[in-house]
Amino acid sequence: MDESTGLWLIRHAAVDGPAGLIWGPDAPACLGDRASFDLLRAHLPEKAKVYASPARRTIDTARALMLDPVPMAELAEQDFGEWTGHRHDDLAVASGKLYADFWHDAARSRPPGGESFADQIIRVRRGLEQVDAGSAILVVHSGTVRAALAIALDIEPEAALRFVIDPLSLTRIDRLKGTWRVTGVNLTFRS
């Protein structure tokens, strides 16, 4: 790809529900902080292509930002398989060693019926390859942003998991004629 692409990666707004759950794709976003949405919107490019994970919380966040996203399955959050919809505390008790072992190698372990973070990076790479040159806004998940950072910085999955990616934060990455530039990570604009 010869032309450069500016990527504005936005993590969706916080999930509207109890903490400690591994959320599925139908979980809604908390959209009540209109001022924060407006502040973030002011930092986005006009006339950019807009993509989103197909999850409800990303689509809702994009629409709250007055964007009309194209859903892209490759930008989805890590698939936690059979653990989706369950509380972490409950899984720790019910799955015991399996759950504990997962967190000892969280970048490469796969939950039952799910994918590893390393698998997610491969999938996100395919998605980023489909984003046309120019300016693009991607409304996605924290894991998707971390995967994009792993790709841009050419770092191991374990290192990418160290990034903090807050709800409704902005991460800026540019794809430049065969290389990458990271210009900002986890930027927040709160009222």
DSSP secondary structure letters along 53-88: -SSHHHHHHHHHTT--PEE-GGGPPP--GGGTTSBH
Of the chain, the percentage scoring pLDDT greater than 70 comes to: 99
The pLDDT score that the predictor gives to residue 114 is 97
Structural domains in the chain plus CATH codes? 5-79+115-187 (3.40.50.1240)
Mean pLDDT (whole number) for 61-84? 98
Give the span between the Cα atoms of 187 and 170, in whole angstroms: 5
Q: Which of 178, 176, 175 is nearest to 9 (CA)?
A: 175
Closest CA to 13 of 128, 140, 120: 140
Residues 143-188: pLDDT tens digits? 999 999 999 999 999 999 999 999 999 999 999 988 999 999 999 9
pLDDT at residue 32 greater than cutoff 70: yes
C-beta of residue 191 within 8 angstroms of C-beta of residue 169: no
Where residue 1 falls among pLDDT bands split at 50, 70, 90?
A: very low
Instruction: Kindly report the pTM of this predicted structure.
Output: 0.96
Instruction: State both tokens at 16.
Output: 């509207």
Amino acid 85: pLDDT: 96
Query: In whole angstroms, what is the distance from residue 20 CA to residue 48 CA?
Result: 34
